[in-house]
Amino acid sequence: MRITAITAITAALMLAGCSDDEAPPATDTDTGVAADTGMTTDTGMMTTDTGTMMTDGGGDTPTPPPTGQIDRMGRPAINTALVGADLKDQYNKTATYTAPFPTTFTKSFNDSLIFIDKLDGKDDWTLTGGTHPLRDPLLSDFLVVDTGKACPDKGSYLDVELFVLGLRPTANTTCGGRTLNDDVIDTTLTATVTALTAPVKDNVDAATKPATATFPYLAAPN
Ligand SMILES: [Ca+2]
Ligand SMILES: [Ca+2]
């Protein structure tokens, strides 16, 4: 498989959360892990990071944080757009690199991808035996990074995946992954709605103030 020829690693890229569009991390509310403030928000679920101890009402008895995976950091809008409401928490708790990935979510992913393709009134993706080509590549939800390529401020999102999965004939020219200032929702919409045949935009091109290129990458306050 071509993926073996690429020094791709799965990793979270540059502290990017997996939530929403170009909004800065502080406003992320999707499936991602926000900046490590000790508390993250998800689809209605509050939790603590593993380095934080909660206290009881009296503040004197430490309570261990929950164990096991309770959220995931991957591509933006995956859980929001492709997973049914009754499966969202279960999806977050499923270990990212489980192989084979549980089939519990495959129908939801497939149905959602087919629905999204039809948003422009045209079926741009060709199904194979009823299966959408993006179903399995997106199912386990992790970012793919080619460490041999440069990471531009914008434009790298899905660059690796679309090539190594045979969904685009030309090789990736960037590191892939996800950078903070990338317009990832536009890339997602273009890939899922038109199969890259025509650009689709959400009409939000950038955050009010872009993230910086220096750790911790925070933008100045608005
Ligand atoms: Ca379409
Ligand atoms: Ca956008």
Write out the two tokens for 106. 């495959």
Whether 92 shows a pLDDT value over 50: the answer reads yes
186 CA → ligand 2 middle, Å: 5
Grade residue 64 by pLDDT with cuts at 50, 70 and 90.
Answer: low
Mind giving me the DSSP string for 139-162?
HT---EEETTS---SSS-TTHHHH
Mean pLDDT in residue range 33-44: 35
Range 65-87 average pLDDT: 87
Task: Identify whether 167 is part of a domain.
Answer: yes
pTM: 0.69
Position 59 confidence tier, pLDDT thresholds 50, 70, 90: low
What does the pLDDT average to over 33-54? 36
Average pLDDT for residues 5-14, to the nearest whole number?
33
Question: Distance between CA 8 and CA 160 in Å, rounded?
Answer: 8
The answer as to whether 161 is a domain residue is: yes
Query: How far is residue 126 from each of residues 119, 123, 220, measured CA to CA in Å?
Result: 15, 7, 44
Q: What angle do CA 155, 80, 99 make, to 5 degrees?
A: 85
Ligand 1 geometric centre to CA of 157 (Å) = 20
Span from the CA of 180 to the centroid of ligand 1 (angstroms): 27
35 found inside a domain? no
Number of domains in the chain: 1
What does the block give as tokens for 220? 């100045």
Q: Is residue 159 part of a domain?
A: yes
Q: What is the DSSP string of 49-81?
A: -TT--EE-TTS-SEEPPP-S------STTHHHH
The mean predicted confidence, pLDDT, of the chain is 77
Q: What pLDDT is stored for residue 58 in this prediction?
A: 54
Find the ligand nearest to 114 CA.
1
**DSSP run (H or E) holding 47:** strand 46-48
125 CA → ligand 1 middle, Å: 7
Q: Which two tokens stand for residue 151?
A: 């990471």
Provide the residue range defining the domain that includes 19: 2-23+71-194
Q: Which residue has the tokens 């045949």?
A: 197
Ligand nearest to the CA of 202: 2
Dist. CA 133–CA 189, nearest whole Å = 15
Provide the Cα torsion 2, 7, 189, 125; round to 10°. 10
What whole-number distance in Å separates Cα of residue 14 and Cα of residue 216? Answer: 9
- Ligand 2 centroid distance, CA of 147 (Å): 26
How many C-alpha atoms does 87 have within 13 Å on its Cβ side? 17
Q: What is the 176 CA–ligand 2 centroid distance (Å)?
A: 17
Model confidence at 17: pLDDT above 90: no
pLDDT at 168: 85
Q: Which ligand sits nearest to residue 117's alpha carbon? A: 1
- The answer to whether residue 78 sits within a structural domain is yes
What tokens appear for 47 in the block?
């939790």
What would the pLDDT profile of 113-155 be if each residue is shown by its tens digit?
999 999 999 999 999 999 999 999 999 999 999 999 999 999 9
The DSSP code for 101 is P
Task: Decide if 50 is inside a domain.
Answer: no
Categorize the per-residue pLDDT at 160 as very low, low, confident or very high, splitting at 50, 70 and 90. very high
What's the CA-to-centroid distance between 87 and ligand 2, angstroms? Answer: 27
Assigned domain for 7 exists: yes
Cα of 192 from ligand 1 centre, angstroms: 7
Question: Look-up: residue for tokens 């489980």?
Answer: 98
Q: pLDDT confidence of 70, banded at 50, 70, 90?
A: confident
pLDDT band at 164 (very low <50, low <70, confident <90, very high): confident
